[in-house]
Amino acid sequence: MAEIVTRSTPQVGAQSYVEWGAVFAGATVALAVSLVLLSFGAAIGLSSVSPWTTTTTGLKAVGVGAAFWMLLVTIWSFALGGYLAGRMRHRWSDATLPEMRFRDSAHGLLVWAVAIIGAAALATAGVSAVGKSLGAAIGSAASAADQATATTDLLFRSSSATGTPATADTRSEVSRILLRSAGSAGVSTADRTYLAQLVASRTGLSQVDAEKRVTEALDQMKAAADRARKIGIVLGFLTASILLIGGVSAWWAANVGGKHREEGTVWHGLSEIKGF
């Protein structure tokens, strides 16, 4: 009697093609490298620019220096993370060469996605250098408050001895009004008149001169707020564009990593040594 041999047929889709170990390893390295490099950039002053200034230096520094540094950091970190993910995953014997290339690149894209989610979580927790750099670059609420305080000092500055120094409560109230002037609604006529009366009583200026000083201060606050909003819009588009470039970098680097894995290549800068 002939022996019947039973062969098991592999189930298609029984095993996931996504190797999360390699993905998380690459994402962790990408996130760590980006945090270190962004912290280094903050240390040398790339994130110390505020739009709450009276010159165009802030705009130029944010548009050129910070954006270029963020671009380099994104490319370097995601390229390294994608390369590691593509290099560290196991080989697939059931895939053609184009399919293997696609799967390697897909792992790089997953590294990019996981790293972005991780960076967002760290920023929410308040420990991300990315969040700190962007917050300092676009002008935080603290920067706006500093601007309001400086403008309050200008309002109550007096060159004569006839004025009465403003109390802390008065200064706090005026600062709050100035902060409201930076919003879209602006300052009401009643608040504008009230500010002029306070300035006139505290500095000894005439009502007309006090109203002129208040108008100049409110215009300065409005201009600073508009400048901050413009920088925020520009940085938003720049950040989205840079992150997309990071995704492309991770996709490409994972493909290179998979290719080097199949070839047994060790990459040393511009030279490649095979056989290791």
Structure tokens at 196: 């002029």
Kindly state whether residue 153 falls inside one of the protein's structural domains.
Answer: yes
Q: Report residues of the chain scoring pLDDT below 70.
A: 1-15, 44-63, 92, 122-146, 159-164, 182-186, 266-276
Same domain flag for 183 and 96: no
Same domain flag for 127 and 261: yes
CA distance 177 to 147: 12
Same domain flag for 198 and 241: no
Same domain flag for 30 and 125: yes
CA distance 96 to 136: 49
User: How confident is the model at residue 63, as a pLDDT?
Assistant: 57
User: How confident is the model at residue 131, as a pLDDT?
Assistant: 46
DSSP 8-state code for residue 19: -
DSSP 8-state code for residue 61: I
User: How confident is the model at residue 115, as a pLDDT?
Assistant: 92
Same domain flag for 205 and 254: no
For the chain, percent of residues with pLDDT exceeding 90: 15
Same domain flag for 124 and 239: yes
Kindly state whether residue 46 falls inside one of the protein's structural domains.
Answer: yes
User: How confident is the model at residue 49, as a pLDDT?
Assistant: 45
Kindly state whether residue 216 falls inside one of the protein's structural domains.
Answer: yes
- Residues whose CB falls within 8 Å of the CB of residue 117, separated by 6 or more in sequence, listed in order: none
Same domain flag for 197 and 247: no
Kindly state whether residue 99 falls inside one of the protein's structural domains.
Answer: yes
Q: Which residues of 77-103 are buried (b: 16+ CB within 10 A; e: fewer)?
A: bbbbbbbbbbbbbeeeeeeeeeebbeb
Kindly state whether residue 11 falls inside one of the protein's structural domains.
Answer: no
3-state secondary structure of 273: strand
Structure tokens at 142: 């603290």
Kindly state whether residue 4 falls inside one of the protein's structural domains.
Answer: no
155 touches 213 (CB < 8 A): yes
Same domain flag for 135 and 188: no
User: How confident is the model at residue 184, as a pLDDT?
Assistant: 60
The 10s digit of each residue's pLDDT in 214-261 is 888 888 888 877 877 887 787 778 888 888 999 999 999 999 998 888
Give the end of a domain, one of 225, 248, 265.
Answer: 225
User: How confident is the model at residue 114, as a pLDDT?
Assistant: 93
Q: Which amino acid is at 247?
A: G
User: How confident is the model at residue 45, as a pLDDT?
Assistant: 61
Q: Domain count of the chain? A: 2
Q: Phi and psi of 264, rounded to 5°?
A: 65, 40
Same domain flag for 52 and 158: no
Taking alpha carbons only, the member of 15, 236, 46, 18 closest to residue 113 is 18
Give the end of a domain, one of 205, 225, 245.
Answer: 225
Same domain flag for 207 and 262: no
Same domain flag for 63 and 180: no
Kindly state whether residue 15 falls inside one of the protein's structural domains.
Answer: no
Same domain flag for 34 and 133: yes
Domain interval for residue 188: 141-225
74 touches 242 (CB < 8 A): yes
Vertex 273 angle, CA 86 and 96, to 5°: 40
Give 11: exposed, middle or buried? Use CB within 10 Å, 0-12, 13-18, 19+: exposed
Kindly state whether residue 201 falls inside one of the protein's structural domains.
Answer: yes
User: How confident is the model at residue 127, as a pLDDT?
Assistant: 41
